[in-house]
Structures are given as C-alpha cells and as structure tokens.
Structure 1
Amino acid sequence: MAFFKNQFANVVEWEEFRDDMIFWKWSNREIKKGSKLIIRPGQDAIFLYNGKIEGIFKDEGDYNIESEIIPFLSTLKGFKFGFNSGIRIEVLFVNTKEFTVKWGTKNAINIPTPGMPGGMPIRANGTFQFKVNDYVALIDKIAGVKSSYFVDDVKIRITAILDQLLMRWISKEGKDMFNLQANAHEIAKGIKDDLDMEVIDDGLTITGFTIMSFNYPKEIQDMINKNASFGMVGDMKKYQQVSILDGMSSGKTSGGGAASDVAGMMMGMNMAKEMIKNMEGDEKDGAKSVEQTPPPTDTAKKVNFCPNCGEKNTGTKFCPNCGYKLA
C-alpha cells in the first residue's frame, strides 16, 4: 500500500510560465498530504482560500505543504487546514520582474498649432516599464475574475489613452512644435505620472516612460532638416531665400503647369528686385566714397630749360647763366 501512499499528492507550481505573463492561477484542485510547493526565481506564491489571502511566499525553493506551509498559515491566520479528504485552495503565482514594453502611435496625432487649422500631425514611439506592486488590489480588480494576465493586456489599456496624454503634454505650456525632442524628458515625465494614476487601482505601477523620437510629416521634416543644415532655425525669411535659390537651380517649383511657371516668374522678379536694390546700394556707397575723396591739388610747374638762353634749369627761380626770371 505504500506504493499508493502519495498517488493523489499535487505539485503546486507555475505550470504555464511565460516571460510575458504577469500572473497565473493554480486553482480548482485539492491539496493532498505529501503535496509540495515550488517557487522559482522571480516568482511570488499567494495562497487564497475562499477568495482571501492566507499567506504570501517569496523565497524560491521547494516546500512541503503539510509540514512547512500549512503550519505557517495556521500560525499567521489562526486557520487550520485539514487533510482527511484534501482541501480546495488557490495559489496565485505572480511574476515579480519589471516589464518593458515598446509603444508607438498607430495614427498621427494632430496637435493644435498656430497657423495650422488642422493641427500638426505628429507620431511618436518609445518604451514604458511597469510591475506589480499591490497584491490585494491585483486580486480584487483582475485576478479575482481571470486565471492569467499578460503584458499585452496592459499594453492595450495603456495605448488606448496614450494619444490623449501625448496631446495634453505636448500642447502644455506652448512647446516648440518643431523641436519636441528637446522637451521629450519633461513630456515623458508628465505622461508617466498620469499613467501611474491610471493603473494603480489594479495593483500595478508605471516605473518608467521614455519617448525615443517624434516623427513629423515628410514636408515638415524636410524643412526642419534644411533649417538645421543652413543654421537658420527661426529665420524664415532666409529659409525662403534659400528655397528660391534651390528651386531655380534645380528647375523645380511647387505645383505644376501654368501655376509652376507663374511661381517661377515671381521668384525671378523678386530676386531681380533684390539684386537691383543691392546694386543701387553699392552705387550709393561708391558715390559717397568719391565725394569723400579730396580732389588733387595743382602744383607749380617747373621749367627744365631757360627760355632766354637755353641753359638747363636746376630748379631755381632765376637762370644761373643769364639771370632770366624763370617763375
């Protein structure tokens, strides 16, 4: 008969463990004499009886339920489990690690922006981290009705409200729409706090939230890149001038057909006006410089030879030969 002594004994362990599983419930089975509990690294085991927590075990290892677990529970709760016919109990295994989830906006978020009636369409992506921090709330809100819970379940809930939070924190305090990355840390911190308040009642906590990048429409990104390459951020007049030069040098202008030709002609006329204006400015500057130059003064002419006797003059006022007055 010894062979059948523990034939009904159970091994209480996380049987369907997955890295993306937040908790898994061992339930609707009887614990018999000789049963044992196995807790692996990164797991906590919560004993539930009639929906109430009887004990939480966090140390990894193998435990004999009859000799090691039940005596502890009886001491803790003053409740005595009987093993005459076994007892039905639930054990909730919780993954204690911090989960990291990648997120990204499925559709562009139209952020209200002055001068753009439809708003600035922006996409964003990054990561967030969360973990279980309150077993009572987790059981009351989720584990009480679910046998397992996955990271994707949390991700779906988070991404459902993420667009609204991004719009709120990007629009707050007039952020620079063309340089959102500079404010990414501040925006992420605000979103993290709001998300934490959203999931805290479920026994979860958001431990981190990061925005990796903001993505603009191609036309806007091209403008930002060109501004950066020419060192002209904020100088729209200079950007327009460079755009005109680029368009004329490449033979391309926006639009097509007659509209394109008219646009090109107007660009040329504007450039001609600017050139004339610059030339007039140069002429005025030249005139000023001429006026300011003193006229050359006449100097007395020097006679080289005496007109009376032909004697060579050495620069004196009278001829040294005949005494003729030279000047």
Structure 2
Amino acid sequence: MGLFSNQFANVVEWEEYRDDLLFWKWTNREIKKDSRLIIKPGQDAIFLYNGAVEGIFTESGSYTIDSDIIPFLSTLKGFKFGFNSGLRAEVLFINTKEFTCNWGTSSPIRLQAPGLPGGLPVRSNGKFSFKIDDYNVLIERIAGVKAIFTVDDVRDRIKGILDGLLIKWITKVGGDVFNLMANATDIAKGILEDLDMELIKIGLTMTDFRISEFTYPENISKRADQAAEYTMLGDMGRFQQVKMVDALANSNGKGGTNMADVASGMMGMQMGMMMANQMTGNLQNNMNGQMNQQAAPTGNGTAPKFCPNCGTPTNGAKFCGNCGTKLI
C-alpha cells in the first residue's frame, strides 16, 4: 500500500473500495497518534475495540485520530499514545447506499392448475433493493467473522428462499394462474415483507421488491395465444381458415408452397368444420326435441299446441283441423 512504516498506519481509510461490497474491515494494524481517518461520501466508519463498538462516525471528511476521534470513543477517551506504541483497533467501513439487484427463479416453480396433474411450470424475474439497517446486528452476525460482505452473499441468501415464497404468495393471493401478472403487485408486497423479516436477522432491510414478468412454457403460451385468437374471431371455421392462410403465407415466404403446411391447414379447417357441424347438429336435435315435447299429447285432457302428425297449430281443438289426428 505504501502507507505504513513498522506496521503503523498514517491513514485509516477504505483502501479496497468496490461497489458490490456492503462493508470492508480495516484491521491488523496499530494507529499512530498523528494518523488521519478519511471517510468518503456514502460511507460510515465504526471503531471496534476488542470486538465491541466504540464509536460510529457518519460525516464524510478527514479527521485527526487523537484529537477528532479518540475523545468520542466510548471506553478509549483517555487513551494515551505511547512513544513506541499505537492504538490497535479495527475500523469497519460501511457502504450506506441502497443496493439493487436482478433476481430470477432458479428453476420453474410448479403451480396447481386445472387439467395439469403435474402442475403448471412457471418462471419469474424482477428486481429487489436492500440496504444496511442495524449496525450492531450486522457486526454480531456477519462482520464479527467476515472481513468483507458482498451483494452476491445477500443475493445467494435470498435466492435460497425465493422460490418457496413465490409459491406461498401466489397461492395466498389467488387468482388465475394463467394470468399471474394481474396480481403481481400483491404477490410482490407479500414477498417483500417476508424477505425483510429474513434480512433483519443480519442487520439488513429490504426497501423494494418488484416482479417484472411471469413466463410459461412455450407450448402453453402458444395455446393461450390461439385461444385469444379464437375468442377474437368468434368462429371456429374462420379461425381454422386464418391458420391455413398463415401457413400458406409462411411457406410462400420461404420461396415456395410447402404442401405439408397446406395439408395441415386443410386438415385443421376440416376438423373445425366437423366440430361446427357437430355443434349445429346437437343444437338442431335439442330444438326438435323441445318441439316434439310441446307437440305430444299431454295425457291430462289438454290438447297440445301443435299437431304431432303434421305440426299444424291446434288452437285447443280435440282433433287436428288439417289431418284429423286425435289430439286428446
């Protein structure tokens, strides 16, 4: 470093600053009487003596150790620098900024969904933010045994519990599993609260948690798109025709007609027609059944509204005026 002579420090400062460090510990050296403490913007400095907090300094600037720092330390106010000795202490430099990280599910989470016995596999991603909140807890749980603590350390801690929290809050909030973004705000709020409770244990606090998107397997997404197309078109025959035209257009764009695509489109259209015909047939049968029910003799002395033989209105008569069929 070029700053030390006989293991005595001339300057006490954060020498190895990195944006991804939550704290950095200055240690294993003695502080000379005329040394200076340098605190840069966005930093706090905590003096530690025998593992205990002696003083916390939050104002950036350059300070003389013996006149500006020592008088404010808890148990070292009367410390006197000897001729051949210095003050052996640790200084923990804290990064006071808010950290923002990207997150993503490590693997698809499986949610209960109708028609999917194995569950619906879903991925998600977004951003979260946090910062240091409680210096005493941080020192007790982390800084007491670590010289540095990184953003990746926090991200790994969150990653280990995030998938379970997603399942918990998606289930708790409820709603359509095929449109989770409709409840993304409520889901994120619940996860934020749980993550904050976890990070408080190590002296940190969550300041934000956001869900950017939920993603589904490609085949399920395609089916959802097709369902949306069908809903907009409102007619299966037209839907199949559109799909056929799309297939033809795609094959022509490749320089020629792909007969496999055409055949597939034809088959799809035929299936659509068959489904439409079947639906029409069922509807017609239902209507005929209702007509026959209305036309049949009731057996209770009341004439039907229509003759069961020719369909002529009976007007309450006992015999059909058109074909003579007995109605009662």
Structures share fold, TM-score greater than 0.5:
yes
Give the aligned residue type for 2:108: A
Contact kept? 1:9, 1:34, Cα under 8 Å: no
TM-score by length of 1: 0.72
Which string of whole-angstrom CA distances, capped at 9 and with x for unpartnered residues, describes residues 3-46 of structure 1? xx999442100000011110000001100111000000000000
Match of 1:169 in 2: 169
Segment drifting more, 9-18 vs 20-29? 9-18
2:298 maps to which residue?
none
1:271 maps to 2:276:
yes
Count of residues in Structure 1 that have an aligned counterpart in Structure 2 = 268
Which residue is 2:144 aligned to? 144
Which amino acid in structure 2 is aligned with residue 155 of structure 1?
R
Q: 1:7 to 1:95 in 2, by over 3 A?
A: closer
TM-score by length of 2: 0.72
User: Once the 2 structures are TM-superposed, how far is the Cα of residue 275 of structure 1 from its aligned partner?
Assistant: 5.6
Structure 1 residues 84-138: Cα deviation after superposition (integer angstroms, max 9, x where no partner): 1112100000000000000111311111223211111111110000000000000
Q: Which residue of 2 aligns with 1:116?
A: 116
| Distance in 2 (alpha carbons) for counterparts of 1:240 and 1:40 | 69
Structure 1: distance between partners of 2:86 and 2:117: 70
Distance 2:41 2:126 in 1: 29
Q: Is the CA contact (8 Å cut-off) linking 1:6 and 1:33 kept in structure 2?
A: no
Q: Does 1:38 align with 2:43?
A: no
Query: How far did residue 246 of structure 1 move?
Result: 5.1
Where 1:10 maps in the other structure, the secondary structure is: strand
In 2, Cα distance between the equivalents of 1:171 and 1:39? 47
Q: 5+ unaligned residues in a row in structure 1: which ranges?
A: 253-259, 282-290, 292-327
Aligned to 1:21: 21
Map 1:55-134; keep pairs closer than 5 Å.
55-73=55-73, 76-77=74-75, 79-84=77-82, 85-134=85-134
What secondary structure, in the 3-state scheme, does the structure 2 residue paired with 1:31 have?
Answer: strand
Distance 1:165 1:239 in 2: 42
Percent identity reads: 53
2:200 counterpart residue number: 200
Deviations 1:183-230 (A, max 9, x none): 100000000000011110100001100001111111222233344455
Alignment partner of 1:215 is 2:220: no
What is the CA-CA distance between 1:269 and the residue it aligns to?
2.8
Q: 1:262–1:245: structure 2 CA closer, same or farther, 3 Å change rule?
A: closer
Distance 1:271 1:251, change over 3 A: farther
- Asked if the contact 2:70–2:76 (Cα under 8 Å) also holds between the matched residues in 1, the reply is no
Aligned to 1:321: none
* Alpha-carbon separation, structure 2, partners of 1:78 and 1:31: 13
Cα distance in 2 between the residues matched to 1:187 and 1:38 = 44
Give the deviation of 1:264 after TM superposition.
Answer: 7.5
The 3-state SS of whatever aligns with 2:78 is coil
Change in 2 beyond 3 A, CA 1:264/1:243: closer
23 and 99 in structure 1: CA distance in 2 versus 1, 3 angstrom threshold: same
Equivalent residue runs for 1:147-162 within 5 Å: 147-162=147-162
Equivalent residue for 1:52?
A: 52
**1:81, CA displacement in angstroms?**
2.1
Deviation at 1:270, TM superposition (A): 2.6
Distance in 2 (alpha carbons) for counterparts of 1:152 and 1:272:
61
Contact residue 46 and residue 54 of structure 1 kept, 8 A: yes
SS in 1 for 2:34: coil
RMSD (CA atoms): 3.4
- Taking the TM superposition and a 5 Å limit, the aligned residue runs for 1:238-257 are 244-245=240-241
Secondary structure, in 3 states, of the residue corresponding to 1:213? strand
Contact 1:41–1:60 under 8 Å retained in 2:
yes
Distance 1:209 1:242 in 2: 44
Q: Which runs of 5+ in 2 are unaligned?
A: 249-264, 287-311, 313-328
Given that 2:230 and 2:236 are in contact with CA atoms closer than 8 Å, whether structure 1 keeps it comes out as no
| Pair 1:42–1:250, CA change in 2 (3 A) | closer
The question of whether the paired residues in 1 share the 8 Å contact of 2:24 and 2:93 is answered with yes
